[in-house]
Structure 1
Amino acid sequence: MKTIDKYSHFLFTLPALLLYSLFFIYPMINGFLYSLTDWDGLSTDKQFVGFTNYWKLVQDDRIVDSLGFTFKYALALVIATVILALVIALLLNRIRRFQSFFRTSYFFPAVLSMITVGLIWNQLFAHAIPDIGKAIGSEMLSRNLLSDPNWVFYGILFVSLWQGLAIPILLFLAALQSVPKDLLEAASLDGASLFQRFRSVVMPFLIPVLNMIVILTAKSGLTAFDYIVAMTGGGPGRMTESVGLLVYNFAFQEFKFSYASALAMVIFVIIGIISIVQIRSLSRYEVNA
């Protein structure tokens, strides 16, 4: 009977395993094999070149600049997302009246596609915001921020946060509601301040969710593509050409498919390393540690 149960459990997981292998494992292995060739993505001929593409990556100034922008964007996105999502979640957790309204309103941007959001905000930055800036006499807002090298980074970051905060807020809210109220009451009776209660009682329950949010947000920042394509196309002057956009340009604009595959594999490894370091560094503070 136990053997039958064991096989039945395996059969239930088999569809998910097959889909995961088909759409993730196979493309990843195939991409790595392509990165060892000189394939242009169109011809039937390809030659094995070993790790030549990876060596070229290190020497390519365009990739260095793209990595610099991408890491800066990912770091800013992670920090801003964690701080803002946690603050908003703490505020929403205290609200008793109109709770459903507030939770619906902040979650609305999450149901839109990133391309749609990027196109909408591209028009707002190009037309609506400059008109508002001229009306209120603001020199900074009277121009298209996405065409300004000094402000384009912050424009993309703002749009990413506007849409991307919904899921982290929801996760933090769920974690906050799992904190035992008797522990908070006991800490309060012992004379712990609000900050001490948050640090010693609430925060350990948030660590698993915090791990998830940091990893997902870092991955989103390191693979940024949709917003940048819709809003700037990598401009002005390739200042916002993220690694994700660079992979696309190499593969489908410049027909360097094997070179793009090598860059994609490097980003995959970087995300994996960041995820492992993040999980190990914060897991020791979990409530069950």
Structure 2
Amino acid sequence: MHSVKRLAHIDFNIPGVKAVGMELMKLINAPSPDMEAFARTVELDPAIFGSILACANSPLFAGITEISDLKVALNRLGMKEIRRIIFHVVLESAFRSDNAEINKLLRAIWKQNLAVSLTMQRLIQDCPQVKALPMDMVGMIYPLGLMHVIGIPVLAINYYDAFAKFITEDLAQPLPDIFAREKELFDGFDHFELGAEMIKRWGFPDFVPDIISSYHVPEPSLDADSRTLHSLLRLARHLAQEYGYAALPDSPPGYWLQGNVLDQSGVNEDDIKADVMDQLDKILKMFH
């Protein structure tokens, strides 16, 4: 792990992530969200405001009449869906670039993130250890999937030329070798460390950056609950790859299943695939 002094030289300001979006994530992560403050903050950003209204009026949530009032939209959607919308809108913008090749990779990674998040959410009902987690950890499952590779945009911003060369020359290597190659090319940093540091600065609970910094390690030194979430993330990465949503070259067989502590006896991969693909298609259309 790098020193705080070295990390201070890294730019963690991702251009697409707006201050309003960050404030909304903090408000929605509060133990008892202040929805009045949340609504006032949403109104400061036309894009987020429009996304919430569009979702509230979509076929998934639409009532008898179309609505244009934000508070009515928030009530119609409910807290679970509001959280998903905010994390989606705020984080999606981080996975874009003016460089065509980098942008192509980041967009593929974002689709992978969605597949991982939806798979993690779907696995809750099938994995006893996950259902038994504290509610604050269950509430972080969807954003954890969306954010687990947030360090990649940080690498792209801070090492623009080297990153552009990296994606054209090195991505054909097997996945573990790619991870090691990052440290060689990017001043000893990798996206695990930079992603964890960003999440710390965003004020998420400690277990979230701990998992992000070690999700590539089969058996990290984490407490039992964090190991459960860690295994859930890795299992979802495995399934997302099986379903054809891997942004990087295929990892070795069983790579993401190494060290998994979950009871998977109740997991029906075919059912999960059908559910995830259906949800992913609807989300991509909704935010197109």
TM over 0.5: no
Q: Sort the TM-score into its range (normalised by shorter chain).
A: under 0.3
TM-score normalised per structure 1: 0.25
Structure index of larger Rg? 1
